[in-house]
Structures are given as structure tokens and as C-alpha cells.
Amino acid sequence: MNPALTDFLAEHTNLTRRYFLRCGTAGVAALGALPIFANAGERDPALQKVLDGLETWLTKQDAFRDVSRGNPKPHSFEVEKKKELGLTRDTWSLEVLDDPDDKVRLRNPLTKEKGTAFTFKDLMKLAEKHAVRFPKVMTCLNIGCPLGMGIWEGVPLREVFWLAKPSPAVRRVHYYGYHNDDPKQMFRSSLSIGRILEDPYDLPPVILCYKLNGEWLTPERGAPVRVVVPEAYGFKNIKWLSHLFLSHRWQSNDTYGDAKNDVDSPLKTFCETLSVPAAVKPDQPVAVTGYAQVGISGLKKVQVWIQNNDEEWPADDKYFTKAPWRDAEILPPPKNWGGDIADNQVPSPTYGFDPKTGQPKTWPIRLAKAHWAILMPGLPAGKYTLRCRTVDANDKAQPMPRPFRKSGRAAIQEVGLKVEV
């Protein structure tokens, strides 16, 4: 086993012990005589096992779930072909153009034709002064579950925007990446000029991203350069970036808009389980772990409820607001971050982290993942449904305040659970 993983497990083992002690002193009367407390100091093997297997906070680049489109996929070419297509760092360039459909008059368009396109060398020059890093979970609006958690590094997009010397008529930036020169394969997105120039509510800037977890972006993740929008769902984070159009158009023409999605939706807060036993014995405590996506409205609580399937629930309470939810523990910052970051150090500076200690300034971190665990009390034999939900920092319980699917998933997850001898 690699040393980082061993440390991570040790950390979670300690955490588990603390967790039990707390349940043991505060919760015993309420929970009844759980076997675990009969033998203090020994952990419930069921919870131990699931905590041992818990994913790390950061995801290795090659462990991201890949939803890349394209036929062939732009990351799949041999190196020589990639060079020909400008998909390597030494051959990449970005054109910054006037929108032919609604011009804004750029005084300095950056074009291949004039030999002024923006190169990776130009990007590295800007990076010396302007590079930023921030943690962000990449989540596909359509799929709903996070594809991976990373620390993304790049140069604020506005630095390149200004190089093109746009007129004040500019209202929106439209952008896309390499797509086999086939219009049908183009994947487009766009942002208002306001979001590119200014960072509201302490958000990190929109970046031209070239590194993930301290390493160059891999071809699958969009190398050499992708856009990363901190608060946005995946579809705004265009990979293999090749073109920016500065436009007088105010409307979005995002590919995901064509798919009937809400293209202005920031990440929602929601949670899901990572491990629930399929079956337990009567009166055996139920060990549950999971993750939460900490959306734009933060995360106050994760809660779990196990309902007997024979129980009727009032039809007018479809979000189960009156259920006897129990608070889970939101796991503290890990000792080991995962994601193969060098020396297990979140590089400094990174948004949300103290540059002196390298530790997070607050926890959980907005627009990132957090993990949680709970040992639910044992139950009589029967069939049950386990549900989990988040409560955001504004005290809105999932799926509120935005229950609509086309703005991103927030439905309350349901998992079947059997209690049998």
C-alpha cells in the first residue's frame, strides 16, 4: 500500500475512534445498547471498513470520470497528430476574435492569420505574475454526480481579454475548443463580460487553466488549456480551448442551452452516500458514508433518515421536511489530500487555504466536496429506505431552494436497506 494511503487510513481510523467516543457518551441512551459500546475502544468493523475505503478529497487526473465528446476524441490522437492540431503545449495557440455576427471592433485581435495568436509561451509569461489556484469540484449538470475534485491552476481569462483591446460594446465572450473541424461536434459556452472582469462574492476568477493538482493538464482533462469557471457546472469548462469571440450579443449560445439546461446555474449543494450496507442484522448499527457537493450556498449539515417501507408518508411533504433526520458528521480536513499532489501539500497560494500553514481557512470549502459518516442505530427486521440530504448555509434543506433538474441535480437520494436475521 502506498504511504500516503496508509496515512490517510490512519487518519480516518483515529477519526472513527473519536466519532465512536462521542456517540458513546452523548448518544447511548437514545440509541439503545449498541454492541460496539459493550467493548469500548473497538470499532464497529462495518464502519471501519467503509471509512478505510473512502475516496480521497482530491481526485487523480486519470481517475476523473471522463465524459469527453468527439469522434475521434481530441485527446486520443498520437503525439505527432496532436502537434499538427495544436493540442500540445509547444504547438497550442488561442485566437481571440471579433464576433462576425455582432462585432465589437477589436483593436488587436489575436489571429493565426496575422501571426498574433496567443501562445502557451505567452500564457506562461502572464502566469509569472497572474497565476491563481483554487479547489473546485467538476460536476456535469446532466449526469449530476461529480466527475472529480481538483485544484485548478491558471491565468485569469481577463488578462487575455484585455490584450485584444476590445471596444466598450463588448457584452459577452463565446468560446469553444478543438472539435475535429466538424461543426456538429463543436461544444460551445459563453460568459457575460461582467463575470470575466470581476469576481463577485469572493469567488476565484474564471481562468485559462493549464494545471490540475500541480501537474500539467492531461489530454483527457483538456490539455493544453481549458477554461475553468469556479462556480459553474462542467459545461462552461471548455477543454482543448482554441477560440474566444468577443461579442456584442448578450445572449448565451451554450451547447448545454440547446439541451434545455439552465446555463446560468451555479453549483448546488447536495449529498449522496458512498457506502450503505445492502443488508444488516436486527439491532446492528448501520454504517454510512458519503460525500456532499458544497454548492454556492455552502453546507451546514448532512442528515440521514431510515424509513420503514411500510410507513405511509403524507403526500404534501414530498421533500420529507418533517422526517426525524439525524445529523451526520462532516469529516474534518484530511491529513492526506489525495489526487497525487506533490508532498501531500496543497500548493501555496491556493484560494481558501492559509499560505502559512497550508491548511484550509474554513471547512468545508465552498464549490468543493466534503465527506461525511454516520452510524445509524440498529433496527428491527424489515425493509427500509435510507435517505440523505444537505442543509445549506442559508438553512435550506435539499432539494430546496432549487429543486429543478435542469439547473443541476439536487434530488434526495434513496437507498434500499434490508434488516434480516
Ligand X SMILES: Nc1nc2c(c(=O)[nH]1)N[C@H]1C(S)=C(S)[C@@H](COP(=O)(O)O)O[C@H]1N2
> Does 207 sit near ligand X (CB under 6 A)?
no
Of 5-13, 121-129, 230-238, 364-372, which part binds Mo ion (CB under 5 A)?
A: 230-238
Stretch that binds ligand X, among 31-39, 125-133, 236-244, 400-408 (CB under 6 A): 236-244
Report 398-417 residues binding ligand X (CB under 6 A).
none
86 binds Mo ion (CB under 5 A): no
| Nearest CA among 158, 144, 184 for reference residue 267 | 144
**Min separation Cβ 109 and Mo ion, Å:** 30
DSSP 236-283: GS-SSEEEEEEES--S---HHHHTT--TTPBPPPEEEEEE--SEE-TT
Q: Considering only CA atoms, which of 292, 293, 276 is closest in space to residue 414?
A: 276
Q: Is 168 helix (H, G, I), strand (E, B) or coil?
A: coil
User: Using CA atoms, how far apart are residues 373 and 378, in angstroms rounded to an integer?
Assistant: 16
234 interacts with Mo ion by CB under 5 A: yes
385 membership: H or E segment, kind and range: strand 382-391
Piece in contact with ligand X (CB under 6 A), picked from 8-16, 62-70, 97-105, 350-358: 62-70
69 touching ligand X, by CB under 6 A = yes
CA count, 13 A, side-chain hemisphere, 183: 0
DSSP string, 99-141: -TTS----SS-B-TTTT-PEEHHHHHHHHHHH-EEEEEEEE-T
Q: Per CB under 5 A, does 408 bind Mo ion?
A: no
Interacting residue with ligand X among 57, 120, 187, 270 (CB under 6 A): 187
Of 138-146, 322-330, 354-362, 406-414, the segment contacting Mo ion by CB under 5 A is 138-146
Least distance (Å) between residue 226 CB and ligand X: 7
196 binds, among ligand X, Mo ion, none (CB under 5 to 8 A by kind): none
Closest CA to 275 of 291, 259, 260, 264: 291
Q: Count of CB atoms within 10 A of residue 155's CB?
A: 24
Nearest to Mo ion of 240, 384 (CB atom): 240
Of 234 and 399, which CB lies nearer to ligand X in the complex structure?
A: 234
Number of residues counted as binding ligand X (CB under 6 A): 18
Q: How many helices (H) and strands (E) does the chain have?
A: 9, 19
Only one of the segments 82-90, 231-239, 242-250, 388-396 lies at the binding site for Mo ion (rule: CB under 5 A); that segment is 231-239
Q: Kindly tell me which residue out of 31, 140, 163, 323 binds Mo ion, with binding defined by CB under 5 A.
A: 140
- Residue 172 β-bridge partners: 192, 247
The angle at the Cα of 238, spanning 272 to 224, to the nearest 5 degrees, equals: 110
Q: Single out the segment in contact with ligand X by CB under 6 A; choices: 65-73, 201-209, 275-283, 367-375.
A: 65-73
H/E element, 36: helix 35-38
Kindly indicate which of the ranges 118-126, 232-240, 264-272, 303-311 contains the residues binding ligand X, using the contact rule CB under 6 A. 232-240
Nearer to ligand X (CB atom), residue 20 or residue 134: 134
Q: List CB contacts of 216: < 8 A, sequence separation 6 or more.
A: 89, 210, 223, 224
The minimum distance between CB 57 and ligand X, in angstroms, equals 16
Contact flag: residue 258 with ligand X (CB under 6 A): no
Residue 132 interacts with, from Mo ion, ligand X, none (CB under 5-8 Å by kind): none
For residue 284, the one-letter residue type is Q
Q: Which of 56, 237, 269, 303 binds ligand X (CB under 6 A)?
A: 237
Q: Which residues, 126 to 145, sit near ligand X by CB under 6 A?
A: 138, 140
Shortest distance (Å) from residue 417 CB to ligand X: 31
DSSP one-letter string for 188-224: EEEEEHHHHH--GGGPPPPEEEEEETTEEPPGGGTSS
Interaction of residue 118 with ligand X, rule CB under 6 A: no
Asked if 235 is part of the footprint of ligand X (rule: CB under 6 A), the reply reads: yes
DSSP lists the bridge partners of residue 388 as 304, 413
Q: Which residues bind ligand X (CB under 6 A)?
A: 64, 66-69, 138, 140, 147-148, 177, 187, 221, 234-235, 237-240
* Contacting residues toward Mo ion, per CB under 5 A: 140, 234-235
